[in-house]
Amino acid sequence: MTGSSAEKDSLAVMRNRQWRHGAALYFFYVVLFFAAALAGAEENGTLAGLVTDVSGAPVAGAEVSVYRTDNTRRPADYIGPTDRDGRFRVILPPGQYWTVARLREGKEKFGPLLPGDKHSGAPMEIELLPGEEVEEEFVVADLEETSRLVVKYDTSFVRAEGILMTSDGKPLADAYAFANRHEGMKRIPDYVSAWTDSSGRYALFLPPGTYYFGMSLEFPPGPEQKHYMQVSIDSDRKNINIIRDK
């Protein structure tokens, strides 16, 4: 009986040691897991801020798209939707990013902007450090608002107008004219008109000078877009018609 009792005591002690060892090992891994998770969280940064319209009002339902490269004509790597106060917040790994804000009227989330959609313009480049929070503000506008803002900011601009046409001479609707100071195509043109209606008529407001004119059916213009003519302007001009290639 004594031997059997001693064996039972020894077995109980061994099991107790095994249980304590197992519990200690479990606790160690739990602590290690949370430490790794905390370290990972500390490495991330935050892009936050506000999206407004041209009047300064917050824009709800917009999206701040974040890209790892300057190619913003594709689905975003990260997206931060705005709340009812126009505010957004995106958690990101440290690195260099290009960001734009968009407000789309339709259900399409990707592809070129359509009439009524709004865009913040040229991508904003940011550098995000570990644990850093960067605050940015984006202003979104459609083409019509953008063209009106140009006139508002500088009343010395002259007016250049004409008709956008198809290759067979018919007015082109749902397109816009643009003008650049230099011959090389830019991702975001220097000056843009509003979207054309069924008449195809456009108007550009420009400082006097020489420009390269073009047209596009999407905004921003695609990489295949080109300039159609070179125009020198020192006063208001009419009948600067732009004919689209086939």
Q: Which amino acid belongs to residue 143?
A: L
Q: What's the CATH code of the domain at 58?
A: 2.60.40.1120
Q: Enumerate residues 6+ apart whose C-beta is below 8 A from 223.
A: 73, 185
Residue 45's Cα: distance from chain center in Å?
A: 18
Task: Tell whether 153 and 231 lie within a shared domain.
Answer: yes
Residue % of the chain over a pLDDT of 90: 42
Q: What's the CATH code of the domain at 152?
A: 2.60.40.10
Q: Model confidence over 166-181: pLDDT tens digits?
A: 999 999 998 899 999 8
Cα atoms found within 13 Å of the Cα of residue 109, Cβ hemisphere only:
8
Task: Tell whether 167 and 109 lie within a shared domain.
Answer: no
Q: Using DSSP, state whether 243 is helix, strand or coil.
A: strand
State how far the alpha carbon of 3 is from the alpha carbons of 6, 8, 9, 10, in Å. 5, 9, 10, 10
pLDDT at 40 over 60: no
For the chain, how many residues are written?
246
pLDDT at 211 over 90: yes
Task: Tell whether 23 and 109 lie within a shared domain.
Answer: no
Paired tokens of 217: 């059916």
> Would you place residue 39 in the very low, low, confident or very high pLDDT band (cuts 50, 70, 90)?
low
Task: Tell whether 108 and 31 lie within a shared domain.
Answer: no
Task: Tell whether 118 and 58 lie within a shared domain.
Answer: yes
* DSSP tag of 19: H
Based on the structure, what is the number of domains in the chain? 3
Q: Enumerate residues 6+ apart whose C-beta is below 8 A from 45.
A: 91, 92, 93, 94, 128, 129, 130, 131, 132, 133, 134
Q: Model confidence over 51-94: pLDDT tens digits?
A: 998 788 999 999 999 999 988 878 899 999 999 999 999 999 99
Residue at a domain's end among 80, 108, 139: 139
Task: Tell whether 149 and 238 lie within a shared domain.
Answer: yes
Q: Using DSSP, state whether 146 is helix, strand or coil.
A: helix
Task: Tell whether 2 and 50 lie within a shared domain.
Answer: no
Task: Tell whether 52 and 112 lie within a shared domain.
Answer: yes
Task: Tell whether 31 and 104 lie within a shared domain.
Answer: no
Residue at a domain's end among 109, 139, 169: 139
| Cβ count within 10 A of residue 52 | 19
Q: Which range has highest mean pLDDT (14-18, 90-94, 109-113, 122-126)?
A: 90-94
State how far the alpha carbon of 134 is from the alpha carbons of 72, 79, 215, in Å. 20, 15, 36
pLDDT at 198 over 70: yes
Domain span holding position 206: 143-243
Task: Tell whether 196 and 215 lie within a shared domain.
Answer: yes
Task: Tell whether 9 and 81 lie within a shared domain.
Answer: no
The Cα 196–Cα 198 span in angstroms is 7
Task: Mark residue 49 as left, alpha or beta (left: phi above 0; alpha: psi -120 to 50; beta: remaining).
Answer: left
Q: Enumerate residues 6+ apart whose C-beta is below 8 A from 176.
A: 143, 164, 192, 193, 194, 195, 196, 202, 215, 216, 219
Task: Tell whether 235 and 206 lie within a shared domain.
Answer: yes
Residue at a domain's end among 139, 154, 182: 139
The Cα 172–Cα 186 span in angstroms is 23
